[in-house]
Amino acid sequence: MQRFFTSLLLIFSIVFALEAKSKTLNCWTKGFNGVGTTHLYNLFVFYDYYKWNRFSEPLCVRKIKLDSSRGVEPFVEKIGHRNLCLPVQVNTQTGCVAPAPSDNLGCVAAKPYFDFNKNARLAYDKVINLRLTEATQILEELKSQEPDNYIVYYIENYIDFFRVFIHENKAEFERLESSKDNRLDKIKQADSDSPWFLYAQAEINLQWALARLKFEEYFNAFVEVKSAYKSLNKNLEQFPDFIASQKSLGILHALVGTIPDNYKWGVKLLSGMEGSIEKGQLEIESILAYARTNDFIFEEETQVMYAFLLLHLNNQSEAAWSTIQSGALDPKSNPLACFVLANVAMRTGRTDEAIKMLRNRPKSKAYLSFPYLDYMLGLAKLYRQDKDAARYFKTYLHNFRGVNYIKEAYQKLAWDALLKGDETTYFDYISLAKTKGNAVIGGDKNALKEARSKVVPHPHLLRARLLFDGGYYQKAYDFLLSASICDFNQKQHALEYTYRLGRISHMLNKKQEALEYYQQTVYEGRYEPYYFACNAALQMGLVHEGLKQYGHARTCFELCQKIKPEEYRNSLHQKAKAGLNRLR
């Protein structure tokens, strides 16, 4: 009975709307005079969900299918709004419209759809700016107004992804994980003829795969990547002009060829995935070219991916910095933008700029907390050897509830104390690196190794290293040469001395001098557990590659892969593999 009255009210409101729209149908008050034939038709009306819930007039009548030769025929126009089918009687001669008999009243359920409309885009922008509470509110309103617009579930997943990826909280990860399958189940019920159908599923899988790496769930992560890759390829076949698919495929194509050899089991699991850095780079460049002349929702995402590809896989640090600066990322209003810009700045020797950005980042409660930015600020200040660097590491340790960079933060506090001549405090902090945090990422593993070894870093080498890491190359070079190799009695310190001179000479464009120091480091340290020889071989390859001496470069990259240090092995071998891929 309620459905009957609801439909009746809607029919009356629709017909009143039709009176203003069409003279040929403006005959409601005339009734049916028996002239002509009366047929039963479905009138399709497109209107706003919000109005539907309140029995208000439809916002607009978009199309009516009146075809007496074919009988009752539903007609659906996909315009990104809900569609409603209402039975009406139409006199084919007079064009009069009247409600259908009560036993024919009823609504045809609309299939869920994907519409990245104004409100959805606003929610997405809030998410990318880490204003997650506001984004959630907008999405809840969107669910109320357009309950069948399933783009909301795709955007919602971004919220969970950033919470998990930034906070690295295991309990939060486990709590939110169930939402992934629920969202995928919802999306699979939506319009399969939409390019968003497979794309949204692929992106959700990719985001969760990346999140799983934080918690060493490698098998599940690889399975999700493989699923995403298949979905993206299928989507590209069905919708070749849907640019978003090309964005994600481009970065996957670039990454798949650089998987280290000790993860080859993952490559087997990902059988069918192919790609190269060159292929991925070309794909992403074509997308950025498209975005320059078209409105592309994911332009900023693509710029970030491209910058990191240039920086980490293609050894083009200046191009990476230029790319990331040319975009619209604002570190003063977006913590995520601050992270990206400061990260690239620190890795390209622009520590002063990174410090400025990190100090001026937004800190209000409107944003998702981002403790790692305090760690980055402490590290940048330690590079510059500011007196207050320890303050920011302590803030990070106080606020962060995750598992990574804990050991490394204690190590950096120990280093700060050592540079200030306080060896007692050094031992206090480095001992905490044994018991606090996890040892999954390279930096934490190295901190644990240092804590267990009980070998105190040489203050002279440590200061030079930090100056180099901060991009203060000339200062590091002059300081290091104020000592000689004879001043270092331990094998580890002597190796580090020649290695550091090679790295600093390299960055000062003293290539021949750098090659000599690198060769000495490899010769004397190839079978030692330290990373110096492995990275020296990698850097020699990069020098030769820059000089277009590709045969020598290949030999050096292959040598790098043969050296098995206890530190940074995976990342160094990945970079060597990327170098070999570039030389194909």
Write out pLDDT tens, residues 370-419: 999 999 999 999 999 999 999 999 999 999 999 899 999 999 999 999 99
What pLDDT sits at residue 190? 94
Q: How far is CA 279 from CA 239, 290, 304, in A?
A: 20, 17, 17
Total number of residues shown for the chain: 584
pLDDT for residue 100 is more than 80 = no
Average pLDDT over residues 60-68: 34
- The model's pLDDT over 293-337, given as tens digits with 9 standing for 90+, comes to 999 999 999 999 899 888 887 778 899 999 998 888 999 999 999
- What CATH topology corresponds to 487-584? 1.25.40
Average pLDDT over residues 20-36: 34
Rounded mean pLDDT of the chain?
A: 83
Give the end-to-end CA distance of the chain in Å, rounded to a whole number. 73
Q: How far is CA 302 from CA 243, 249, 285, 533, in A?
A: 11, 11, 9, 35
pLDDT for residue 271 is more than 90 = no
Highest mean pLDDT among 41-55, 109-123, 252-266: 109-123
Give the start-end residues of each E strand in 48-170: 82-91, 97-99
Instruction: State the Cα–Cα distance between residues 279 and 256, nearest whole angstrom.
Output: 11
- Cβ neighbours around 455 below 10 Å, total: 11
Question: 83-87, 228-232, 444-448, 525-529: which has the minimum mean pLDDT?
Answer: 83-87
Provide the H-helix boundaries in 385-441: 389-399, 406-419, 423-435
Superfamily of domain 118-325: Tetratricopeptide repeat domain (1.25.40.10)
Confidence of residue 570 (pLDDT cuts 50, 70, 90): confident
Average pLDDT over residues 244-256: 89
pLDDT for residue 254 is more than 90 = no
- The model's pLDDT over 499-552, given as tens digits with 9 standing for 90+, comes to 999 999 999 999 999 999 999 999 999 999 999 999 999 999 999 999 999 999
What pLDDT sits at residue 47? 33
Instruction: State the Cα–Cα distance between residues 205 and 296, nearest whole angstrom.
Output: 22
Q: How far is CA 450 from CA 446, 455, 458, 472, in A?
A: 6, 7, 12, 25
Instruction: State the Cα–Cα distance between residues 45 and 16, nearest whole angstrom.
Output: 13
Could you tell me the two tokens for 150? 């399933």
Instruction: State the Cα–Cα distance between residues 231 and 225, nearest whole angstrom.
Output: 10
3-state secondary structure of 482: coil
Instruction: State the Cα–Cα distance between residues 569 and 315, nearest whole angstrom.
Output: 18
Confidence of residue 262 (pLDDT cuts 50, 70, 90): low
What pLDDT sits at residue 75? 35
Instruction: State what percent of residues in the chain have pLDDT above 70.
Output: 78
pLDDT for residue 435 is more than 80 = yes
Contact indicator for 503, 476 with CB cutoff of 8 Å: no
Could you tell me the two tokens for 232? 């993206």
Domain residues of the chain, as ranges? 2-104, 118-325, 487-584
Confidence of residue 3 (pLDDT cuts 50, 70, 90): very low
- Closest by Cα among 331, 311, 333, 312 to 322: 311
Instruction: State the Cα–Cα distance between residues 441 and 462, nearest whole angstrom.
Output: 21
Question: 23-27, 98-102, 326-330, 334-338: which has the minimum mean pLDDT?
Answer: 23-27
| Bigger pLDDT: 237 vs 325 | 237
pLDDT for residue 439 is more than 70 = yes
The answer to whether 118-325 and 487-584 have equal CATH topology is yes
Q: Which residues pair with 40 in a beta bridge?
A: 89
454: left (phi over 0), alpha (psi -120 to 50) or beta: left
Contact indicator for 244, 199 with CB cutoff of 8 Å: yes
Instruction: State the Cα–Cα distance between residues 539 and 543, nearest whole angstrom.
Output: 6
Contact indicator for 398, 436 with CB cutoff of 8 Å: no
What pLDDT sits at residue 566? 85
Confidence of residue 28 (pLDDT cuts 50, 70, 90): very low
- Closest by Cα among 515, 535, 528 to 576: 535
Confidence of residue 261 (pLDDT cuts 50, 70, 90): low
| Bigger pLDDT: 427 vs 566 | 427
Amino acid making up residue 243: I
